[in-house]
A and B are shown apart, each in its own frame.
Chain A
Amino acid sequence: MTRQEILDLYFMDARAKAIDLAAFLDRVERADGPADFRLDALRTALDELQKNGPERARRVLLAFSDPTTEPIAKAPGKGACGAFNPQPST
C-alpha cells in the first residue's frame, strides 16, 4: 500500500484513538489521588511515539513490560494489570 492509501484507511481510527487518549489523561489529571506506576508506564510509552525510527509498537509494548528475567517465588494473583510495577506493595 502507498502512504496515501494507508492514511486513507487508518487515519480516522488513529485520530480517534489519539483524542481518546488525550481525554483519558485529562480525566486522570482532574481527579485527586497518588502517583500510579501505570500512568508512569503510559507516559514512557507516549515518549516512544515521538521518537523516530521503526518498531514503535514493539517499543511501546516494552515500556509496559516486566524487564526482569528470573521466575518469581509465588504468584501475587492471577491477573495482569497492563503495566509492570517496579515497587509492588508486598
Chain B
Amino acid sequence: MRYIEPHAHMVSRVTDDYVAMVTAGCAAVCEPAFWAGFDRSSAQGFFDYFSQLTEHEPKRAAKFGLPHFTWLCINPKEAEDVALADDVIALIPQFLTKANVLGIGEIGLNKNTRNELAVLEKHIALAVEHDQLILVHTPHLEDKLKGTRLIVDLLKGHSGVKPGRVIIDHVEEHTVEIVLNAGFWAGVTLYPESKCTPARAIDIFENFGRENIWLNCACDWGVSDPLAVPKTALEMRKRGHSAETIDALIYQNPLRFLSQCAKFKL
C-alpha cells in the first residue's frame, strides 16, 4: 500500500510517528500552517514558524526518507487580531519561493466572525496574486455548517479563484455537497471524536463522489492518529474495495490535486 498524507502537523509529532507513517506506506506528507495551541505574541513568532516549516521540518522528515511539503498562512484561530494578521500576511511572499511550499493554507474560519472573514479574504487575494493553491480549514462542530457556507460564498465571489485549485477540508455529511457542488475539492479528516471515523469517511466516499476528494489525518498536538489514513484503507478492504480503488483515493487523488503545484514531485 502507498498513500500521501496531505494534511499533518508534523512539528507537533515525534520521530516515532515518522517511522510509523513511512512503514505504513506514506510517500509524502504535507503540513499546513496552523494554531500552535496558544497565540503567538508577535509576527516574529510566525516568521520563526514559517522557517521551521520550510527549512527544519523537511530535513527532519528527510531523515526518514519522507518528502515534506507545506502551506503557509495565519490560521483562523489567530485571525481575530486583524493587525497581527496583516503583519503575518506581509511575511508570506518571501517564503513562497521555498522548495517545499505548495500554497496558502490552512486558511478559513473558526468562529465565523467578521474579522476572520476579512483575513480570509486577504489570504485569498494573496493566493490569487501569486497563483497559489489554496487549502481551507472549515470550523469545528456546531460552527462547521455556517462557516462552510460563508467560505464557499466568499470563494465563489472572487473572480480570480479557480475552484479546481482549492481544497476545502474537514467536510462531513452535512457540508460535503456544498463543497463539491461548487466545484471545489473536499478533504475528509479522520479524527477519533470531533470529525470523521474511517467508516463515515468511506460512506462519504461511496455516496458523494470519488474524484475530487481526499482523506487526511490532520494529526497535531491533540488527540489524533497519524496512521488514520492507512487504517481507513484497511477498513475499505473489509468492505470489499479493490486495491485500485483504495489507491485512487489515498494516493492518486491527492497526487492529482497537489501536482497542480509544479513543486510537488515524488
Contact = CB atoms under 8 A, between A and B. Distances in A.
Interface string B99-119: 000000000001111111100
Contact of B143 (A13, A73, A80): A80
B48 interface: no
User: Looking at chain A, what size class is its interface with the partner chain?
Assistant: 20 to 34
A80 B141 contact: yes
Interface in A1-59: 1, 5, 9-10, 13, 55, 57-58
B60 interface: no
A25 to B, nearest CB: 18
B166 to A, nearest CB: 20
A75 B77 CA distance: 9
Interface string B114-144: 1111000000000000000000000111111
Interface in B230-249: 238-240
B contact face: mostly helix, strand, loop, or mixed: helix
Given A64-B142, A80-B139, A84-B142, A72 B240 contact: no
B190 to A, nearest CB: 15
B174 A72 contact: no
Query: Which of B141, B142, B199 counts the most A-chain CB atoms under 10 A from its CB?
Result: B142
Contacts of B199: 10, 13
Given A61-B145, A82-B142, 10 more contacts: A9-B239, A57-B173, A57-B200, A58-B173, A69-B146, A69-B150, A71-B112, A74-B113, A75-B111, A80-B141
Interface of B: 35, 77, 80, 110-117, 139-146, 149-150, 172-174, 199-200, 203, 238-240
Interface of A: 1, 5, 9-10, 13, 55, 57-58, 61-62, 64-69, 71-84
